[in-house]
Structure 1
Amino acid sequence: MKHRSTLLSVGILCITLLTSCAISDYQNAMDKGIDSIGQQDYHQAAIYFEVALSEQANDNKALTYYEQASQMEEGIDLYHQEKYVSSLDAFKAIANQDDGLITVQKEAKKWQMTILEEQEELVAAEEKMVTINQLISIEEYNRALEEIQSLNMKLQSEEALSYYKDELAKLTERVHKSLDELEDVNVSASTDQKEDKVANSKKDTEKVDEGITYTYYTNERFRFKIEYPAYLTAGSPPTNGDGLTFYNEELEITVFGSHNVMDETIEDIYQQSIDTISVPIAYDRLADNWFVLSYVENGMIIYDKFFYGNDVFNRFIITYPENKQDVFGPVTTHISDTFVPSAN
């Protein structure tokens, strides 16, 4: 009987020791995972929390921490792959969690802000690159150089824009080469030919300047302001005063405002807009308070820009023939750059 009692005591002691070891291994893995979180090594943190789960499979804390670390790692990877929308979704999910580590939630919010700020810079840079190429195509080389210089200055201060460094260098070389070729032509030409060329150049410049003379329209109801080519005709204003259409035989600009009566997010409206487009989208950018969609449908370029506010939305849609890109592309850029949305 005494022998049996001794064996029972030894068995209880072993179970206690094993349980104690399991708890110790669990806590050790959790502590190391949290340390890795502090060092922002989310990959290693996820491994430690996975070890903790192997010790206590139903532990909610270990599971939550593992999911946080895994999502942070995924979000950062997506960011480096320039998949900004998916990356924002990952960080947004972490930031909106009701439980988990507050430090991770704060770090996810920082990543959200970083991406949104950089994405706006990237969108602006891409639009600037379009403008530069358009200016080169119409041989406005000096203006192209001014735009290149402006973008180069931003490249120096914004690391996210380094992507454009090589392409901008090629454009710069292309412009200088074209200017050199023009200079060679001028040198070899006679004085009379030079004078004729200058005169013709002035006439062309006057036509271009005349063609892009702008006036503006301010909407009294929603208080947005848009600049548009003065040669366009203004349509009849709607009875609700939400906007206006400006047009001629080739170019049409429709601008309007509306209230956010459905309490929709910008992501909702962005996705709804994409779902209505049945053709490939050539240009697609989503920022924190606006988005742009541009595509070709039935031979017409459609440029759709939407501005999101808590209470009021603004939108303008520009339509023109695809073969008039060199004419109306710069007009579209000017309107986009100068548009003043409603104050919310």
Structure 2
Amino acid sequence: MQRFLFLLFFTLPAAAFAQGWEPYANARFGFAVDVPPGFTLVQEADNGDGRTYANGEAKLSVWANHLVIGSFADEVASRRMAYLREGWDLSYERQAAGWASLSGTLVDSILYHRIIALCDEAAASFVLEYPQSMKAEMSPLIGKPVKSLRPAEGCTSAQGTAPPAQ
């Protein structure tokens, strides 16, 4: 795993650093994602599952979990149902083998959830939640974390790459 982190650091494009994007690699579950500029670390899970970042009223949560309720598709369905129970109006949903995206609104909040399958019956996610007033600032940032959320090298659970966020 240390080799993965070492390779990850040295293979990231220099432009990611120049523009203020910060890599986050999770050694416990073996995944990585790029954190947008302006987001600062607020909390790290004691058990190594992930982190929470903030930028004003915007919150970015990044974590992984074991699939305890069944398959990857079951995990996505469970997340979707949880959002619906909370009252989210899901206006965008896409799912393929190994990845899914959910997006919607609740009152004055916008949510984007990306989830990918990992090896060893696990899944990694990021959720970006922000107020409508920050839409112009936050919407353009979603594409890069979507493209950068990936399993560790050698994990083939998430086959192929997903299309860019819409």
- Give the structure-1-normalised TM-score: 0.36
Indicate yes or no: 2:115 matched with 1:316.
Answer: no
Indicate yes or no: 2:77 matched with 1:271.
Answer: yes
Please give the alpha-carbon distance, in whole angstroms, between the structure 2 residues aligned to 1:324 and 1:236: 22
Q: Which has the higher strand share?
A: 2
Equivalent position to 2:101, from 259, 270, 292: 292
What displacement does 1:269 show? 1.9
Indicate yes or no: 2:142 matched with 1:332.
Answer: yes
Equivalent residues in 2 for 1:214-293, closer than 5 Å: 214-262=21-69, 264-276=70-82, 277=84, 278-293=87-102
Please give the alpha-carbon distance, in whole angstroms, between the structure 2 residues aligned to 1:340 and 1:331: 17
Moved over 3 A (4+): none
Look up the equivalent residue of 2:113 and give its one-letter code: D
8 Å CA contact 2:72, 2:123 repeated in 1: no
8 Å CA contact 2:72, 2:98 repeated in 1: yes
8 Å CA contact 2:31, 2:124 repeated in 1: yes
* Matched residue, 1:305: 114
Please give the alpha-carbon distance, in whole angstroms, between the structure 2 residues aligned to 1:280 and 1:237: 29
Equivalent residues in 2 for 1:83-102, closer than 5 Å: none
Equivalent residues in 2 for 1:1-344, closer than 5 Å: 213-262=20-69, 264-276=70-82, 277=84, 278-309=87-118, 310-342=120-152, 343=155
Please give the alpha-carbon distance, in whole angstroms, between the structure 1 residues aligned to 2:88 and 2:37: 32
User: Does 1 or 2 have the higher relative contact order (CA < 8 Å, sep 6+)?
Assistant: 2
Larger Rg: 1
Question: Tell me, which stretches of 5 or more residues in structure 1 are unaligned?
Answer: 1-211
Please give the alpha-carbon distance, in whole angstroms, between the structure 2 residues aligned to 1:268 and 1:214: 32
Question: Tell me, which stretches of 5 or more residues in structure 2 are unaligned?
Answer: 1-18, 158-166
Look up the equivalent residue of 1:317 and give its one-letter code: V
Please give the alpha-carbon distance, in whole angstroms, between the structure 2 residues aligned to 1:275 and 1:281: 10
What displacement does 1:250 show? 2.5
Output the aligned Cα RMSD: 2.3
Post-superposition CA distance 1:246-298 (Å, at most 9, x none) = 11212211011112244x12222222222222232111111111111100112
Look up the equivalent residue of 1:272 and give its one-letter code: S
1:335 is paired with a residue whose SS is: helix
Look up the equivalent residue of 1:340 and give its one-letter code: R
Q: Alignment identity in percent?
A: 23
Size of the aligned set, in residue pairs, is 135
